[in-house]
Structure 1
Amino acid sequence: MVKPPRLRKGGTIRIIAPSSAATSTSSLPKAVRFLEKQGFKVSLAPSMIRESPTRYLTAGDATRKNEIENAFKSDKYDAVMVLQGGAGSIDILNSIDYDIIKDHPKVFIGYSDITLLQLAFMRMAHMASFQGPMLIDLFEEDEAALQTNWNNLIGIISRGEEAMIKNPLESGWAKSINDGTTKGQLMGGNLTVFSLIVGTKYIPDARGKVLFFEDVNVEPWMLDNLLTSLVIKGVLKKANGIVFGQLPNYGIENISESQGVTSYLMKHLFIEDYINATMHSTLQDLFSNKMPKKPAFIEFACCHGKYITTIPMGIRVKLDASQCTMEMLEPGVE
Structure 2
Amino acid sequence: MLDRRTAVLGLGILPFAAGSALSAPPPPLRKPPRLKAGDTVALIEPAGFTEDKFDLEQVLATIRAMGLVPKPAPHVMKRYGYLAGTDKDRAADIDAVYADKDVRAVFAVRGGWGSARVLPYLDWDVIRANPKLLVGFSDVTALHLAFAAKTGCPTIHGPGAASSWGALSWDSFRRLAFLGETPTWRSPAPSEDRLAPRSGIRTFRGGKASGRLLGGNLAVLSAMVGTPYMPDFTGAILFLEETGEAEYRLDRMLTQLGLAGILGKVAGVVFGQCTRCTGEEANYSGFTVSEVLDQHFAPLAVPAFQGALIGHIANQFSMPVGIEAEIDADAGTIRILEPVVT
Show the counterpart of 2:111.
85
> 1:251: Cα distance to partner?
8.2
- For residues 31 and 120 of structure 1, what CA distance do their matches in structure 2 show? 26
Count matched residues: 307
- Is 1:21 the counterpart of 2:49? The answer is yes
Alignment match of 2:179 (pick from 159, 165, 185)? 159
- 1:89-112 per-position Cα deviation (integer Å, ceiling 9, x unaligned): 111111111111110000110111
Alignment match of 1:205 (pick from 232, 235, 243)? 232
TM-score of the two chains, using structure 2 as the length reference: 0.85
Q: Is the contact between residue 267 and residue 302 of structure 2 (CA under 8 Å) also seen in structure 1?
A: yes
Alignment match of 2:151 (pick from 116, 121, 125)? 125
- For residues 41 and 203 of structure 1, what CA distance do their matches in structure 2 show? 32
- Is 1:146 the counterpart of 2:146? The answer is no
> 1:26: Cα distance to partner?
2.3
Show the counterpart of 1:67.
93
- Which structure's residues are more often helix, by fraction? 1
Q: Is the contact between residue 13 and residue 42 of structure 1 (CA under 8 Å) also seen in structure 2?
A: yes
Q: Is the contact between residue 176 and residue 297 of structure 1 (CA under 8 Å) also seen in structure 2?
A: yes
Instruction: Extract unaligned runs of 5+ from structure 2.
Output: 1-28
TM-score of the two chains, using structure 1 as the length reference: 0.87
- 1:3-38 per-position Cα deviation (integer Å, ceiling 9, x unaligned): 111011110111000101125342222232122122
- For residues 312 and 158 of structure 1, what CA distance do their matches in structure 2 show? 13
> 1:113: Cα distance to partner?
1.0
- 1:268-312 per-position Cα deviation (integer Å, ceiling 9, x unaligned): xx77xx79x700111122234x32x21001122113111111000
Show the counterpart of 1:283.
293
Q: Is the contact between residue 46 and residue 90 of structure 2 (CA under 8 Å) also seen in structure 1?
A: yes
Tell me the amino acid that sits aligned with residue 306 of structure 2. Answer: I
- 1:60-105 per-position Cα deviation (integer Å, ceiling 9, x unaligned): 1111011001111101211100011111111111111111111000
Percentage of matched positions with identical amino acids: 30
- For residues 206 and 34 of structure 1, what CA distance do their matches in structure 2 show? 35
With over 3 angstroms needed to count, the CA separation of the structure-2 counterparts of 1:119 and 1:24, relative to structure 1, is: same
Aligned CA-pair RMSD: 2.0
- For residues 159 and 11 of structure 1, what CA distance do their matches in structure 2 show? 14
- For residues 51 and 292 of structure 2, what CA distance do their matches in structure 1 show? 34
- For residues 106 and 211 of structure 2, what CA distance do their matches in structure 1 show? 26
Show the counterpart of 1:260.
none
- For residues 28 and 198 of structure 1, what CA distance do their matches in structure 2 show? 33
Show the counterpart of 1:332.
340
- Is 1:308 the counterpart of 2:282? The answer is no
- For residues 122 and 74 of structure 2, what CA distance do their matches in structure 1 show? 18
Tell me the amino acid that sits aligned with residue 15 of structure 1. Answer: L
Tell me the amino acid that sits aligned with residue 256 of structure 2. Answer: S
Q: Is the contact between residue 325 and residue 337 of structure 2 (CA under 8 Å) also seen in structure 1?
A: yes
- For residues 188 and 61 of structure 2, what CA distance do their matches in structure 1 show? 25
- For residues 56 and 95 of structure 2, what CA distance do their matches in structure 1 show? 23
Instruction: Extract unaligned runs of 5+ from structure 1.
Output: 256-262
Q: Secondary structure at the match of 1:300?
A: coil
Show the counterpart of 2:208.
181
Q: Secondary structure at the match of 2:228?
A: coil
